Amino acid sequence: MLRRPCFLFASVLILASCVVGQGTPTDKQFTILVAGPTSAKDVQIRYFINGEFGTFFGSSTTSNDSGKLVIKTQHESKPATSFKAIAYAPGCQFVTISVEDLAASDRQATFNCQALPTTLLQGRVPTSALGGKDLQVEVLYVPDWAPKYFAIGSGAFSPFSLTKVTVATDGSFAVDMPDFSTDPTWSSLSNQATLRFSLVDKTGTPVHQLAAPQGNNLKVANSYPVELQFTVGAE
């Protein structure tokens, strides 16, 4: 049964970061080794652990470049028995990790970036939204397929950060988007996903949410219209 503190059934799930230090015993952690030239700082993880405590969901990133991410596999001082994760780095295929019996595993996996081809996405935002400032469009990937992968039925998951791109003074922008339709998981799993857009300042702070022509989010596809006209949503 899912633990209520770990899920917020809203537009965005607030996640607890569960990266642990080197002093944690290896039987209480899971290590994801990041193959070069990808930096460990660019890898984003969404994961589930299960055990006597029930089920716990978390996310992890690292601020160092040690070449690995170390994730705690205990909750409420109780060890996890299984581990499941989705790993992503910008421009790469998704890596899924599933360990049904942690006690029988070496508690390690490798993230090896397999680059995706790109597809051009062009858009335009109202110049009035820029307010004469140098702003960027941030693109987030919302994994609507995550509940299916984690076998939880439903739930809102924190999106993966794809990129930020500068907006021209006329409101136009262009992004070389990963073509997620070529990801090996696409046909069986990851075809259910959307893109979320927002205007952010130089510090990355959101200034305006942007709505795509057919709704707030844009469905992930292998190609996009010549120029998408975005409107400004709530700040």
Predicted confidence (pLDDT) at residue 12 exceeds the cutoff of 60: no
Q: pTM (2 decimals)?
A: 0.84
Q: Note the pLDDT of residue 159.
A: 94
- Residue-wise pLDDT for 22-72, tens only, equals 334 567 899 999 999 999 999 999 999 999 998 898 888 888 888 999 999
Give yes or no for a contact between 199 and 125, defined as CB atoms under 8 angstroms apart. Answer: yes
In which element (H, E) is residue 146 found? helix 146-150
Give yes or no for a contact between 215 and 205, defined as CB atoms under 8 angstroms apart. Answer: no
What are the distances in angstroms from CA 14 to CA 17, 98, 211? 10, 23, 22
Give yes or no for a contact between 73 and 60, defined as CB atoms under 8 angstroms apart. Answer: no
Predicted confidence (pLDDT) at residue 85 exceeds the cutoff of 60: yes
Which one-letter DSSP state was computed for residue 107? Answer: S
In which element (H, E) is residue 69 found? strand 68-72
| Helix/strand number for the chain, H first, E second | 1, 17
Structural domains present in the chain: 4-111 (2.60.40), 118-232 (2.60.40)
Q: 2: pLDDT confidence band, cut at 50, 70 and 90?
A: very low
